[in-house]
Structure 1
Amino acid sequence: MAAVTTETAPPAAKRVPTERTHHGDTVVDEYAWLAAKDDPETIAYLTAENAYTEERTAHLAALRADLFEETRQRTRETDLSVPTRKGGHWYYTRTIEGQQYGVHCRRAVRDGETDPPVSADGAPLDGEEVLLDGNLLAEGHDFFSLGAFDVSPDGRWLAYSTDFSGDERFTLRVKDLGTGELLPDEVPDTFYGTAWSADASVLFYVTVDDAWRPNRVWRHTIGAAAADDVVVHQEDDERFWVGVELTRSEKFILIDIHSKITSEVLVIPAGNPTGAPAVIAPRRQGVEYAVEHHGHRFLILHNDGAEDFALAFTSADTPGDWVPLIEHTPGTRLEAVDAFANHLVVSLRTEGLTGLRVLPVGSDDSYDIDFPEPLYSVGLDANPEYRTGQIRLRYSSLVTPDSVYDYDLVTRQMVLRKQKPVLPGPDGRPYDPAEYEQHRDWALADDGTRVPISLVCRVGTPRDGSAPCELYGYGSYEASMDPWFSVARLSLLDRGVVFAVAHIRGGGELGRRWYDQGKMLAKKNTFTDFVACARHLVKSGWTAGDRLVARGASAGGLLMGAVANLAPDAFTGIVAQVPFVDALTSILDPSLPLTVTEWEEWGNPLDDPEVYAYMKSYTPYENVAAVDYPAILAVTSLNDTRVLYSEPAKWIARLRATAPQGDYLLKTEMGAGHGGPSGRYDAWREEAFINAWILDRLGRA
């Protein structure tokens, strides 16, 4: 579709040639100066780009307002999550119309009360206790995010942490839930993850090193100064990162140590928090395992000789040999195990779909929970209680809104506790899933591999190539893009747009092998799979090349940049959010956040000439060419520590210089991080901005 013309030229990025040489190859980077975040010239350039983008999209202002309003109208703004029981309280979150953030609350469990309390209109529950009000915490800040939110086992203390810039460096605090007062305990620059000792006298937490790698677990005594805190474990191998958690049984503190392909777990009895950590099994290169406590044993989910993982156990008193519990089954990827007093629940995936398997303790009568739709996503929700015969699970599909169920592990009965309300849209009609249809299709990759595609559209959408389509993709880190419901997406579907997800290699949809075939020196399969999906959608009549927009974020943004170079004719537009488009430059610099830990995902181009040459052949920034690109919208955040804002900024500048006939826009959130705006209304406006641009490209504005 033709872009709106304007007399204003895009901002001119100055060209300052900077050379670097690796493995005999000299590369010139004219826009390296944009990485200087504190340089006023950089900020001025990003500000000018934002102004240019706003001007170029000014004609979409009314549509953006409509899309925002459609999302707002369809959302119950004052609402209450399904309360979760832990000890003597029900815990839940309320949202209030007009307020950006949730209010975290609890209410005491009443005599004889077994079902969670409800509030039909989202009003406070009788007897409610407000633990944290995100709106009050966020006052005076453009950004707000919670890191930790961890109530002590006795219900007395709340450990929570806050970030006001988006750089994911949190300040940890402790609140006395009896008095409502904050303790003097305050720890700056912490990371995600906390764990309480059994008596709530000690809190464990995590900090990062200069490269933003979580590398230390600390022990803090409640009431003591942070300066007196003790390092419990320090991980000096830069490939590994650490985390900490309390088991559901509340018997052990687990320190998880992971690289991309290797792991190790240390345990500390929660009743002896000053004890030395004990190793469950020493790390072995290429062996991953995770630990869950269950009675007299530790459950071990592992890939030792089991590509798609197996389940074993070892003694909790003297960890040693692993005794098989579920043998490896190729094609059935075991992803997690959750232990309850009388049942184990295994989260798995097979044939591209998620599932839950229940193993009653002391019985061979295991079973899988059945779900009715051909495409869906299911997983365990919050289940803090160890001694229970009931689990909470979350279910959704491309047409079914997020649904919370309680499932009885003995009777096998499932009770719907709540389905996310979808209120009537602008036409006043209630949402009816029967007006939409979802499909599973398959594309054929260049090497003959069948690649699944999930699609949703309105019933009766033509299959003659006339329908516009958005194709979403990710394809990295074994992350699966399982079908999910979106209120904002309804605004696209109701305008005749088909929404599709390409389940490409590098993700985890079809097991560990699917992931391995899309990483390291096989990474290009991710990109060619996506192009194959785009070509298939056209060939099978779902859409046409001039009616197809691609979208991806983070590593999915790398995918967007790669397919723009690989098949620019396949799309009329590309949306790249926080895109990892200058991957080679970043992975060559071990001082940057995450780089060393990423070498087992992408390869180490610093030491390996083959990896260097391979990455250089696909990284988007290095392969911009003088071709006719589709229109590109790049969205980033100034305080992103995962993918630096400079990557899309440099990419857009090089696109303009190399292929100046194209239509390229850069939008930078000047006070946010990797996840974009933090408040829900701000997030809706951001999505409305992107969807308006997509509809414009698709001729449906």
Structure 2
Amino acid sequence: MRMVMRMQSHRASRGVSFVNLVQQLVYLPAVVLSSIGASASITVRASSLSSEAAAASVRMSQSEPPPPPPMAKKVEHKMEMFGDVRVDNYYWLRDDSRSNPDILSYLQQENAYTQFLMSGTKKFEDELYAEIRGRIKEDDISAPERKGPYYYYQRTLKGKEYVQHCRRLIPNCEAEAPLSVYDTMPTGPDAPPEHVILDENIKAQHHDYYSIAAFKVSPNNKLVAYAEDTKGNEIYTIHVIDAETGAPVGLPLVDATSYLEWAGDEALVYITMDETLRPDKAWLHKLGTEQSSDSCLYHEKDDIDHLVVYEREEGLPKVTIYHLPDVGQPLKSLHGGQAVNFLDPAYSVDRSESEFSSGILRFSYSSMKTPPSVYDYDLKTGISVLKKIETVLGGFEASNYVTERKWASAPDRTQIPISIVYRKDLIKLDGSDPLLLYGYGSYEVCIDPSFKASRLSLLNHGFIYAIAHIRGGGEMGRQWYENGKLLKKKNTFTDFIACAEYLIEKKYCSKARLCIDGRSAGGLLIGAVLNMRPDLFKAAVAGVPFVDVLTTMLDPTIPLTTSEWEEWGDPRKEEFYFYMKSYSPVDNVKAQNYPNILVTAGLNDPRVMYSEPAKFVAKLRDMKTDKNIIMFKCELGAGHFSKSGRFEKLQEDAFIYTFIMKALDMVPAQGSGLN
């Protein structure tokens, strides 16, 4: 068993940023910072495009043959560096304003074509969505957390997309008692009434997209500050309200990131970005003053690394409690800690914000067959108490499912972990089972094997689900990440292929039953392996994929590009240029057979511009030699994380699962579909 202490680098990217340094500056508890980006709101207007694709937007009956796919027009655009000339015929698809009528028309035609192809199984998709939604306990609350004289929690209501942020006063007889793992919020008729601080459903009424990324209560429990995004572009507005009345306090803070913290009861710390959307400045805002008069606490002129220590063993997270020496005593190497043990062979553990001065550690545990379970751990006694487990309806029984941890051998003989789950009474393990393999492998991000209720619909249809923990991620420590970035990035792709070949060799599936999935930098993975080994896969899903790597990394005016050079390299240097070109998916599409492919994008996406997946699809359609289907679905009112409502996200899962099952001939086609 190998123990790894991981020193993680955080930066603004398709990953995260410099918040840890700011926390040290203002002595604040840990929070998670989502990186941000920019976009623009648009008015969608119809326009003609010189392409046969217009036919796709015409309403058709299911008895008519499928329309031809949209074929984007070609406009030659030459780019030269180091004597190497590249021609990008689809460069015209990029529009930073998101308002070009020809481009919007093309995206609408792609959506219409996708809608037509999926229309034959819309009934199945709707039934699948109802099945997925039927597992969700729509009216529920999160595990209450005690803070001062209140319990704070979130409530979901039946039929509502968003949460309510609530609190309940602690009875006087309990308010002075110290925090305990046995604390329980009273809910009976004699309990203090529930107070709704903020209802996201009301706030979201006039927006296509709505997200609150931070919700912070002031130390005296009188005020609440929250970061709000109404476009999906991850540029936040920070509001402060009275916790009791909901009345606004002062003017909003605009053009901020999702990070905020209270600095006392009358001031906030927040972060803004530079022109490339890299978080770079921490500000102190005093309530009642203008934002223009805020004090800059820190300006990070260089995108440096900041250290955060995590502990992992064999690629799995570990929770270990250490007792530090008394104040004034030397700090020695930590040893002899008390480990918190977990039963599943593959699992996920997430930390939760806790009262800094308390002796209670709150964490959430789940596995691919165990729903999220919130525990309070007493640091003195070592007692762990389950506070809440997510309710899964629809007759779910964890004992019906099996989780496994396997290891595939990469070309350089590195052992790559794979997490697997399936329903034991539906699987034959003779090569005939359908399998969906997921991968990411970038930014030192750990894709831990956690629970997802909607995934049960795949498992209950006889699927095996697997996660390839490939290099470039952080599952196996810092070196694991280093060996999958910069000039070693191709290890990410060959690791994934090795995992696919292992699953085929061990008869978890066959080439004809293997589907793959990845998002964002994971979409780069999907694009790369499709170019390298398209014969291995029956279908692929590339969600908001980062596929035009070289062109994007050569343009420092694109948001996040300069901060991304530490991940991919700076292609203004010849060595990085040609290495990046050798795997960038758009640059490596060639005349060969490809499997069925679904590509998604968000028009307002600040991390992966919609034009990257659009160009990838256009070039695939132009060059591929097969008759398989390529579908492109672009959300015109969403960003990198797609739609914001909880049920809307379930609809997306149902859509993707239906596409995958159609590709495997597991649902009947009714007038349209995949070959």
TM-score range, shorter chain: 0.7 to 0.9
**Aligned pairs, number:** 587
- Structure-2 residue corresponding to 1:577: 543
1:6-27, Cα deviation, whole Å (9 max, x unpaired): 4301112110011111122111
- Structure-2 residue corresponding to 1:16: 75
Counterpart code for 1:694: I
Unaligned residue ranges in structure 1 (runs of 5+): 241-258, 264-288, 291-333, 336-347, 425-429
Query: Larger % of strand: which?
Result: 1
1:423-468, Cα deviation, whole Å (9 max, x unpaired): 12xxxxx211111101111111111111111100111411110101
Return the alpha-carbon distance in structure 1 between the equivalents of residues 338 and 109 of structure 2. 59
Return the alpha-carbon distance in structure 2 between the equivalents of residues 28 and 352 of structure 1. 42
1:603-662, Cα deviation, whole Å (9 max, x unpaired): 1002x1010000000000000000000111001100000011110000000000111534
Of residues 218, 222, 229, the one that matches 2:287 is 222
Question: 1:369-448 to 2 correspondence within 5 Å?
Answer: 369-383=340-354, 385-424=355-394, 430-448=395-413
- Structure-2 residue corresponding to 1:668: 634
Instruction: Give the conservation status (yes or no) of the 8 Å contact 1:147–1:162.
Output: yes
Percentage of identical aligned residues: 43
Question: 1:637-652 to 2 correspondence within 5 Å?
Answer: 637-652=602-617
Q: Work out whether 1:207 is the aligned partner of 2:272.
A: yes
Instruction: Give the conservation status (yes or no) of the 8 Å contact 2:366–2:373.
Output: yes
CA 1:416 to 1:104, structure 2 compared with 1: closer, same or farther past 3 Å? same
CA 1:557 to 1:118, structure 2 compared with 1: closer, same or farther past 3 Å? same
Instruction: Give the conservation status (yes or no) of the 8 Å contact 2:151–2:185.
Output: no
Instruction: Give the conservation status (yes or no) of the 8 Å contact 1:639–1:673.
Output: yes
- TM superposition shift of 1:678: 0.1
What SS class does the counterpart of residue 120 from structure 2 fall into? helix
CA-atom RMSD in angstroms: 1.8
Q: Work out whether 1:167 is the aligned partner of 2:137.
A: no
Return the alpha-carbon distance in structure 1 between the equivalents of residues 263 and 359 of structure 2. 25
Instruction: Give the conservation status (yes or no) of the 8 Å contact 1:82–1:118.
Output: no
Counterpart code for 1:139: Q
- Structure-2 residue corresponding to 1:193: 259
Q: Work out whether 1:509 is the aligned partner of 2:570.
A: no
- TM superposition shift of 1:162: 1.3
Instruction: Give the conservation status (yes or no) of the 8 Å contact 1:147–1:191.
Output: no
Return the alpha-carbon distance in structure 1 between the equivalents of residues 186 and 532 of structure 2. 52
- Structure-1 residue corresponding to 2:575: 610
Q: Work out whether 1:30 is the aligned partner of 2:83.
A: no
Question: 1:536-555 to 2 correspondence within 5 Å?
Answer: 536-555=502-521
- Structure-2 residue corresponding to 1:44: 105
Of residues 519, 522, 527, the one that matches 1:561 is 527
1:139-160, Cα deviation, whole Å (9 max, x unpaired): 1111001133111111121111
Instruction: Give the conservation status (yes or no) of the 8 Å contact 1:396–1:484.
Output: yes
- Structure-2 residue corresponding to 1:77: 138
- Structure-2 residue corresponding to 1:633: 598
Return the alpha-carbon distance in structure 2 between the equivalents of residues 488 and 435 of structure 1. 16
Q: Work out whether 1:86 is the aligned partner of 2:147.
A: yes
Q: Mean alpha-carbon deviation: is it higher for 39-48 or for 161-170? A: 161-170
Return the alpha-carbon distance in structure 2 between the equivalents of residues 696 and 413 of structure 1. 49
Return the alpha-carbon distance in structure 2 between the equivalents of residues 64 and 683 of structure 1. 14
CA 1:11 to 1:224, structure 2 compared with 1: closer, same or farther past 3 Å? same
Return the alpha-carbon distance in structure 2 between the equivalents of residues 90 and 633 of structure 1. 44
Return the alpha-carbon distance in structure 2 between the equivalents of residues 108 and 127 of structure 1. 8
Of residues 356, 361, 375, the one that matches 2:319 is 356
1:198-233, Cα deviation, whole Å (9 max, x unpaired): 2x2221211112211112212211011222222222
Instruction: Give the conservation status (yes or no) of the 8 Å contact 1:505–1:525.
Output: yes
What SS class does the counterpart of residue 134 from structure 2 fall into? helix
Of residues 482, 485, 489, the one that matches 2:451 is 485
Q: Work out whether 1:112 is the aligned partner of 2:171.
A: no
Return the alpha-carbon distance in structure 2 between the equivalents of residues 415 and 478 of structure 1. 31
CA 1:107 to 1:585, structure 2 compared with 1: closer, same or farther past 3 Å? same
| Greater length-normalized contact order (CA 8 Å, ≥ 6 residues apart) | 2
- Structure-2 residue corresponding to 1:57: 118
CA 1:119 to 1:540, structure 2 compared with 1: closer, same or farther past 3 Å? farther
Return the alpha-carbon distance in structure 1 between the equivalents of residues 80 and 390 of structure 2. 54
Return the alpha-carbon distance in structure 2 between the equivalents of residues 120 and 148 of structure 1. 26
Return the alpha-carbon distance in structure 2 between the equivalents of residues 126 and 623 of structure 1. 63
Counterpart code for 1:387: S
What SS class does the counterpart of residue 126 from structure 2 fall into? helix
CA 1:183 to 1:458, structure 2 compared with 1: closer, same or farther past 3 Å? same
Q: Mean alpha-carbon deviation: is it higher for 444-453 or for 612-621? A: 444-453
Return the alpha-carbon distance in structure 1 between the equivalents of residues 359 and 296 of structure 2. 38
- Structure-2 residue corresponding to 1:305: none
What SS class does the counterpart of residue 16 from structure 1 fall into? coil
Return the alpha-carbon distance in structure 2 between the equivalents of residues 88 and 360 of structure 1. 29
Of residues 421, 424, 438, the one that matches 1:472 is 438
Return the alpha-carbon distance in structure 2 between the equivalents of residues 459 and 136 of structure 1. 43
Return the alpha-carbon distance in structure 2 between the equivalents of residues 558 and 133 of structure 1. 37
Return the alpha-carbon distance in structure 2 between the equivalents of residues 67 and 7 of structure 1. 24
Return the alpha-carbon distance in structure 1 between the equivalents of residues 206 and 368 of structure 2. 37
Unaligned residue ranges in structure 2 (runs of 5+): 1-62, 327-334, 668-675
Return the alpha-carbon distance in structure 2 between the equivalents of residues 660 and 668 of structure 1. 24
Instruction: Give the conservation status (yes or no) of the 8 Å contact 1:356–1:379.
Output: no
- TM superposition shift of 1:556: 0.2
- Structure-2 residue corresponding to 1:655: 620
Instruction: Give the conservation status (yes or no) of the 8 Å contact 2:592–2:625.
Output: no
Return the alpha-carbon distance in structure 2 between the equivalents of residues 150 and 209 of structure 1. 25
- TM superposition shift of 1:126: 4.2
Return the alpha-carbon distance in structure 2 between the equivalents of residues 386 and 225 of structure 1. 31
- TM superposition shift of 1:54: 0.3
Instruction: Give the conservation status (yes or no) of the 8 Å contact 1:80–1:119.
Output: no
Return the alpha-carbon distance in structure 2 between the equivalents of residues 231 and 540 of structure 1. 58
- TM superposition shift of 1:666: 0.3
